[in-house]
Amino acid sequence: MTESPTPHIEPPLELLDALTSVRKPLLIAHISPDGDAIGSLTALGYLLYRMGKDPILACQDKAPATFNFLPFYDRIVQRVDERPDIIIALDSSDPTRMGTIYEEERFNGLPLIVIDHHITNVFFGDINWVEPTCCATDEMIYYLAKALKEPLDETLATALLTGIVTDTRGFRTYNVTPEVMHITGELIDAGAPLAMITERTLDTRSMALIVLWGRVLDTVEFADGVISAVNSMAMRQDLEGIIRAEGLVSFILSAQEAKIAAVFTEMPDGKVECSFRARRGYDVSRIAVQLGGGGHPPAAGCTLDGDISSVRRRVVEMLRQEIREKSMSKLVKE
């Protein structure tokens, strides 16, 4: 296959310089890591290792076993004992996303590099490379490999494709451009197993998750374009090792009448995690930011204090308001 056309996205030169001269970088993926967090962590970790560096790969929460086919999966640590020379935050829109890993005082003063594609990124690094048009942080790591003139191999291509497949839910999202498809072709050509990645990351669920989905689906309510559901602690009492009803918020948005979907999860610390999805033309990242969270227009979230049913009432009302405003502005335009 021919190479993709020259990428239109180029990493900043100061980033390339920093990565070339670094010896022991600490790479941090965000808490509750998803495929793009672990994909970009392992892709960049492997790339830097291949360049002769000694990277540390870290994430506050253990990476789900789903991703154990990725390079360096076994090297991801939940605690850092060594002394790095720079820190690289991946797929993280603000410093709290790095969780306890970054809270350590001994990391204060170390240069911080931010590589992210969230539009809500707050530019908290010394070098900030933020590309909101990219479908995944892994797409950015691909451009980085190109700019560093590092060849793709099967291992790197597999890690890169994992973030692209998972963040686009299998190439379903509006940020999948012809360039993303070109890149995907190149990654497959380099040996990335697209069907295996899709099956392992998107089409495999634990039995406990299926049972939890059933219970959470029982709580679905719909009004004025907003579909919502709750996942309480009591509903998971007999289901060990499971908290989130992963994937359910996208599933309920598939209701024909729904424009915005929300799932509210009561966390073990008593807080309520809110997860939002929106159809094209609606923006849930705005509301997530208002509530102290972040994300993308079609997919965002936040964590709130309060009991789960009052949080649901309050937040669903805000989401309905978003729909009313968008319908009003459509009327005005027409």
Rule CB under 5 A: which residues touch Mn ion?
A: 36, 91, 137, 167
Q: Nearer to Mn ion by C-beta: 92 or 231?
A: 92
Q: Nearer to Mn ion by C-beta: 42 or 137?
A: 137
H-helix segments, the chain: 13-21, 35-50, 100-103, 137-147, 154-167, 178-189, 194-202, 207-217, 248-253, 284-290, 308-333
- Distance between CA atoms of residues 267 and 257, nearest Å: 29
3-state secondary structure labels for all residues of 207-232:
HHHHHHHHHHHCCCEEECCEEEEEEC
User: At its nearest, how many Å lie between Mn ion and the CB of residue 21?
Assistant: 27
Q: Nearer to Mn ion by C-beta: 38 or 156?
A: 38
Q: Nearer to Mn ion by C-beta: 192 or 235?
A: 192
Beta strand 272-278 with 299-304 is antiparallel
> Both tokens of residue 258?
């729904």
Beta strand 272-278 with 260-266 is antiparallel
Q: Nearer to Mn ion by C-beta: 58 or 316?
A: 58
Q: Nearer to Mn ion by C-beta: 92 or 265?
A: 92
User: At its nearest, how many Å lie between Mn ion and the CB of residue 174?
Assistant: 15
Cα radius of gyration rounded to whole Å, the chain:
20
User: At its nearest, how many Å lie between Mn ion and the CB of residue 37?
Assistant: 7
> Both tokens of residue 20?
């070339």
User: At its nearest, how many Å lie between Mn ion and the CB of residue 285?
Assistant: 13
User: At its nearest, how many Å lie between Mn ion and the CB of residue 236?
Assistant: 26
Number of residue whose CB is nearest Mn ion: 36
User: At its nearest, how many Å lie between Mn ion and the CB of residue 115?
Assistant: 10
Alpha carbon separation from 239 to 122, 230, 243 (Å, rounded): 37, 16, 9
- Distance between CA atoms of residues 101 and 97, nearest Å: 10
| 3-class state of residue 115 by DSSP | strand
User: At its nearest, how many Å lie between Mn ion and the CB of residue 164?
Assistant: 10
Q: Nearer to Mn ion by C-beta: 167 or 186?
A: 167
User: At its nearest, how many Å lie between Mn ion and the CB of residue 84?
Assistant: 23
3-state helix, strand, coil in the chain (%, to 5): 40, 15, 40
Dihedral (Cα; 164, 166, 170, 172), 10-degree rounding: -90
Q: Nearer to Mn ion by C-beta: 36 or 266?
A: 36
Angle at 50 between CA 47 and CA 51, to 5 degrees: 90
> Both tokens of residue 200?
């392992």
User: At its nearest, how many Å lie between Mn ion and the CB of residue 66?
Assistant: 16
Q: Is 212 exposed, middle or buried (0-12, 13-18, 19+ CB in 10 A)?
A: buried
Question: 236: how many CB neighbours lie within 10 A of its CB?
Answer: 22
Q: Nearer to Mn ion by C-beta: 229 or 300?
A: 300
